[in-house]
């Protein structure tokens, strides 16, 4: 009877251990497994915008353009456009915090020449842009 109890205990430990291993493997998702999402970033003029100057004459405009170029070269800037008196860029990132971290490197935002707001961007009807995860 003692041998049966030991075998049953060992089997139970192995079974529980197997479940824990599978659960641990399922829970540990690497950064490569996370599908990036799309975010719309609306850019407007900030408190330090000089109304007497054209956009390309604004303080830190060259640095702002360089930051957008950097994001494009990194492959995270999907599209950039202007409409009305606003700018719009769509970026691919894992989280809104990641988007803000990328944008906060732009000195024109730090200096309040421009300001931005971030919104989740869900493509519901693909055209030239595809929904996140199907790129």
pLDDT at 96: 97
pLDDT score at 126 = 79
Per-residue pLDDT of the chain (135 residues; tens, 9 = 90+): 554 444 444 343 333 344 334 344 444 555 556 789 999 999 999 999 999 999 999 999 999 999 999 999 999 999 999 999 899 999 999 999 999 999 999 999 999 999 999 999 998 887 865 555 554
pTM here is: 0.69
Q: Which CATH architecture has domain 35-120?
A: 2-Layer Sandwich (3.30)
**Closest by CA position to 38, among listed 78, 82, 83:** 78
Write phi, then psi, for 124 (nearest 5 degrees): -105, -15
Who's near 81: CB < 8 A, 6+ residues apart?
87, 88, 89
């Amino acid at each position: 009877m003692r041998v049966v109890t030991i075998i049953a205990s060992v089997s139970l430990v192995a079974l529980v251990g197997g479940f824990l291993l599978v659960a641990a493997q399922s829970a540990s998702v690497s950064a490569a497994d996370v599908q990036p999402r799309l975010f719309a970033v609306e850019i407007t003029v900030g408190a330090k915008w000089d109304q007497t100057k054209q956009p390309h004459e604004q303080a830190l405009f060259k640095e702002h353009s360089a930051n957008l170029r950097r994001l494009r070269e990194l492959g995270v800037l999907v599209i950039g456009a202007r409409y009305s008196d606003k700018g719009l860029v769509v970026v691919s990132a894992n989280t809104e915090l990641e988007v803000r971290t990328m944008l906060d490197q732009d000195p024109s935002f730090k200096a309040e020449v421009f300001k931005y707001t971030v919104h989740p961007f869900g493509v519901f009807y693909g055209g030239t842009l595809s929904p996140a995860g199907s790129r």
